[in-house]
Structure 1
Amino acid sequence: MVNITDEAASELKSLLESEEKEDHALRIFIAGMGCSGIQYGLALDNEIKEEDVTEESNGLKVVMSSDIEEGLSDATIDYVETEEGKGFVIDNPNPASCGSCSSCQ
């Protein structure tokens, strides 16, 4: 199960309200691959597909394709503010490496 921290939930709820998208879910998707493993992205989405898995965390609906659910089983979505900026991050304690380059093997 993907967990959403209190800080991230508060920011997401404010975002959903300000964009008048309270009926949307937070979709997690694969944004790319690299030597550090799978890179995930986040988007607001109101179209649930047949192959999707829907979870709820901290009062928010989270949607993802069933083929990435297992890889995100212990992931946490947080909201951070640093000197470089602010935004949502996915902390996945069990990332998969790609195995496509010599430094991964």
Structure 2
Amino acid sequence: MTVQNESAAATEGAQTEAAHKVVMSDAAAAKAKALLDQEGRDDLALRIAVQPGGCAGLRYQLFFDDRSLDGDLVVDFGGVNLAVDRMSAPYVEGATIDFVDSIEKQGFTIDNPNATGSCACGDSFN
């Protein structure tokens, strides 16, 4: 199910909430778009998935994907399609994907209100 039209109707760009209820900040959308442009790819979506693993039980997967899975929820954020598979959607509902670029840390971050705990290294959650 694709809900790009709902997202575009709500407001243009990032910080909109739609079917999969994951939000991508302007900074994250801009960085993802820059990475796609750098590779010359417009056929990929940024996918967030939850997989079993890590010391706390579940682990995020955030990657560019050329597949379209049955039941995917897809929303456009600033020209980047953010895809969530139907099995991962309940685990990431309400999560925010951001991009941090500071002297201490650089990379994509996921703030998930559904995570009740995480491991000491921050690699997995439950």
TM-score normalised by structure 1 residue count: 0.77
Flag the structure with higher helix content. Answer: 2
CA shift in 2, pair 1:2/1:58, >3 Å: farther
1:64 lines up with 2:84 in the alignment: yes
Larger strand share, 1 or 2 = 1
SS at match of 2:70: coil
1:1-41 CA distance string (max 9 Å, x none): 11110111111111010011122100112253432x53212
Runs of 4+ aligned structure 1 residues displaced above 4 Å come to: none
Partner Cα distance (2:103, 2:86) in 1:
35
User: 1:8 aligns to what?
Assistant: 28
Post-superposition offset of 1:93: 1.4
Whole-angstrom distance in 1 between the partners of 2:54 and 2:71: 21
Q: Tell me what 1:34 maps to.
A: 55
| More relative contact order, 1 or 2 (CA 8 Å, 6+ apart) | 1
Unaligned runs of 5+ in 1: 99-105
Question: For the aligned residues, what is the CA RMSD?
Answer: 2.1
2:40 pairs with 1:17: no
Following TM superposition, by how much is the alpha carbon of 1:72 offset from its aligned partner in structure 2, in angstroms?
A: 1.1
Specify every segment of 5 or more residues in structure 2 that has no aligned partner in the other structure, as ranges.
1-20, 119-126
